[in-house]
Structure 1
Amino acid sequence: MNSQSRPLILINNQAARAHIAWPRIKEALTQHKVRFDFRETMRPGDAEAWTRAALQSGCGTIAIVGGDGTLSEAASGFFEMKAGNSKSPQPINSAAALAILPAGTGDDFARGLVGGRAPLETWLELFVVHCRNAEQTRTRTVDMLHGRIGDGAQSFICLNAATLGIGAEVAGRVAAQGSFMRLLSGEARFALAALGALAQWRERRVSVQVDEGERIECQSNLIAVVNGLYAGGGMMFAPAARVDDGCLDVMTTCGVGRAMVLRELPRIHSGGHLANPKVRVMRGTSVRIEALSRKDALAVEADGDVRGCTPVEFRVIPSALRIVV
């Protein structure tokens, strides 16, 4: 086996559980006589750059030891990205696959793929089987979202979910939490961040247009554009969302005050928030979200990283990426 055919494992030791998971993973792969290359990320953007370089050099499998943010970075590296280009990003190697070795805070994308939490050993076993015989391994082809801020000068890939408003504020707070907070569960960390964000929040006037449909204007504090089933530490913004249906789901809140947000937050984990008539889910292949004034501008986060502010547009890239499952 030459070095180009070996899987490349990227480890983000800043992820919640990566420093514990990686020694176990390395030992198991050695025991199974799996040959591999690995690199430890040092700064944001490493996973994307190293994935892209490896695929361009002939590597066929990239594995991620980390959370949703690192996974999203690596997924971006499967594509050639050009700022200002409205066309969908082009894959470098459509036959290449991404393997997940979850070790993050929420691991929401992995959870959504299998309908719940699965232990690291389950994902590791799938990876070992894939390394031994990639052609016979079962993979799942998933959609991705292509996001464009403003006039498209900044574009990005979103693998799992993007949020605007409180959701983006929460993502920023989770990313800034200290080492002590990493001892808590992902759900607890997201809940504490949400309470802090809500205390300083006000509703913003926005417009939302899905595909070429009606342009809806409302006062909102949370908008979610969803590809995967779970986001934000196990929340189901759109319980009908599927990663391979060729659609994105858009959840909006309209006229939902702070007290109601507090009441609805726990219900989002079960999808019960959709019983509230002020919460709406729309489905399509694209969405454009704009603030109605400069002071109403909303921050935009995708897969845990804040990308910019409105206006923003998302489009589905159907059947974009192969995942080892």
Structure 2
Amino acid sequence: VVRGELERHNLRFDAHEARGPGDAQTTARAAIRAGYSVIAVVGGDGTLSEVAAGFFEDDNGERSMSADFPTPINSQAALAVLPGGTGNDFARALQHERASLSPWVARLLAHLRGEADSPARAIDVLHGRQAAGEQPARRRSFICLNAATLGIGAEVAGRVAAQANTVRRLPGETRFALAALAALLSWRSRRMRITVDDKSFECGTNLVAVVNSAYAGGGMMFSPEAKVDDGLLDVVTACDLSRAAILREITRIHRGGHLANPRVSVRRGVRVLIENLISADALPVEADGDVRGHTPVEFRVMPGALRVVM
């Protein structure tokens, strides 16, 4: 569909099919270095996140992902979203409606033709980095567009990914519910220290979500008021909940109802540090569907760091 529309409008393009983990990022980075100004992505949120990382220098660049912030290769290059995944949360957050491919193709065509009503908009990016456990230059660093989760949220994401090939025919929300139930049966909370900017607190952690956009994880609304262009991260914590309470809140998270629980809170800031108080209690970190390491982990917002075709 996309190729046909580009050809019909006599627009020049090159196409590449990602063939494995990291391929989309490598291809996007090479294309931007070669002078391409628009990178259009047909895929889901994981692919978008991977391509977004390709807009910045890698560890072999003059400044690396292990610097304070990744360095953009070309700050004027733009990402074009063509939703083709299961959740399409990022596209939904940008337009505040369920994403379908056709209107996004129309936006891309209008942008490539230089129409004034289809600009590229600067949005924030979440930058995460393992905060300890390795030499500074070797700590894992990553880019995230929607949200990073720790605790049961990361457990659920890992199980959903593991089940992708065995339960592919089931609806996304059904797969999520099955994964949530399995994760809940084996879950135990861990005590964490969470610092948002300069304010710290401890929490018997069931869930932490560091949120850049209103939707993540297939329609979950960790923080319905989150905005991709406000220069802030929303930090959602669920502390000291029983298993029954966790199950109840998980079922309400797709509409934001979990925020009515007084043990669930939202804080906002530009820097977030999450530390396990006991080494054995390190939590896995999930970002846009992929496991990205473990605690301790630091997140920072990169305001207006990525241009997206709107």
**Aligned partner of residue 91 in structure 1, secondary structure:** coil
Structure 1 CA distance for aligned equivalents of residues 96 and 143 of structure 2 = 23
Contact 2:65 2:71 in 1 (8 A): no
Structure 2 CA distance for aligned equivalents of residues 190 and 33 of structure 1 = 42
Instruction: Say how many residue pairs are matched.
Output: 301
Cα deviation, residue 278, structure 1? 0.6
Cα deviation, residue 229, structure 1? 0.5
Deviation per residue, 1:184-207 (Å, 9 max, x gap) = 332222222212211111111111
- Are 1:293 and 2:278 counterparts? yes
Structure 2 CA distance for aligned equivalents of residues 263 and 53 of structure 1 = 46
**Aligned partner of residue 313 in structure 1, secondary structure:** strand
Structure 2 CA distance for aligned equivalents of residues 204 and 76 of structure 1 = 30
Deviation per residue, 1:178-235 (Å, 9 max, x gap) = 445222332222222212211111111111000011x211111110000010011111
Cα deviation, residue 313, structure 1? 0.2
* Residue correspondence of structure 1 range 1-325 to structure 2 within 5 A: 24-82=1-59, 85-133=66-114, 137-151=118-132, 152=136, 153-179=139-165, 181-213=167-199, 215-325=200-310
Structure 1 CA distance for aligned equivalents of residues 44 and 33 of structure 2 = 24
Q: Which amino acid aligns with 1:161?
A: A
**Aligned partner of residue 181 in structure 1, secondary structure:** coil
Cα deviation, residue 130, structure 1? 1.6
**Aligned partner of residue 79 in structure 2, secondary structure:** strand
Q: Which amino acid aligns with 2:40?
A: A
**Aligned partner of residue 274 in structure 1, secondary structure:** helix
- Please give the root-mean-square deviation of Cα atoms over the aligned residues, in Å: 1.6
Q: Which amino acid aligns with 1:243?
A: V
Cα deviation, residue 141, structure 1? 1.0
Cα deviation, residue 171, structure 1? 1.5
Structure 1 CA distance for aligned equivalents of residues 171 and 103 of structure 2 = 20
Structure 2 CA distance for aligned equivalents of residues 54 and 134 of structure 1 = 24
Structure 2 CA distance for aligned equivalents of residues 210 and 286 of structure 1 = 6
**Aligned partner of residue 168 in structure 2, secondary structure:** helix
Cα deviation, residue 27, structure 1? 2.4
Contact 1:106 1:187 in 2 (8 A): no
List runs of 5+ in structure 1 lacking aligned partners: 1-23
Q: 1:10 corresponds to which residue?
A: none
Q: Provide the TM-score with structure 2 as the length reference.
A: 0.93
Structure 2 CA distance for aligned equivalents of residues 266 and 237 of structure 1 = 12
List runs of 5+ in structure 2 lacking aligned partners: none
**Aligned partner of residue 221 in structure 1, secondary structure:** strand
Structure 2 CA distance for aligned equivalents of residues 276 and 145 of structure 1 = 26
Structure 1 CA distance for aligned equivalents of residues 71 and 82 of structure 2 = 25
Contact 2:41 2:48 in 1 (8 A): yes
Q: Which amino acid aligns with 1:133?
A: G
Q: Which amino acid aligns with 1:223?
A: V
Q: 1:18 corresponds to which residue?
A: none
Range 178-187 or range 115-124, more displaced? 178-187
Q: Which amino acid aligns with 2:207?
A: L
Q: Provide the TM-score with structure 1 as the length reference.
A: 0.89
Range 111-120 or range 68-77, more displaced? 111-120
Structure 1 CA distance for aligned equivalents of residues 115 and 242 of structure 2 = 51
Structure 2 CA distance for aligned equivalents of residues 220 and 32 of structure 1 = 53
Contact 2:57 2:65 in 1 (8 A): no
Cα deviation, residue 84, structure 1? 7.3
**Aligned partner of residue 155 in structure 2, secondary structure:** helix
**Aligned partner of residue 133 in structure 1, secondary structure:** coil
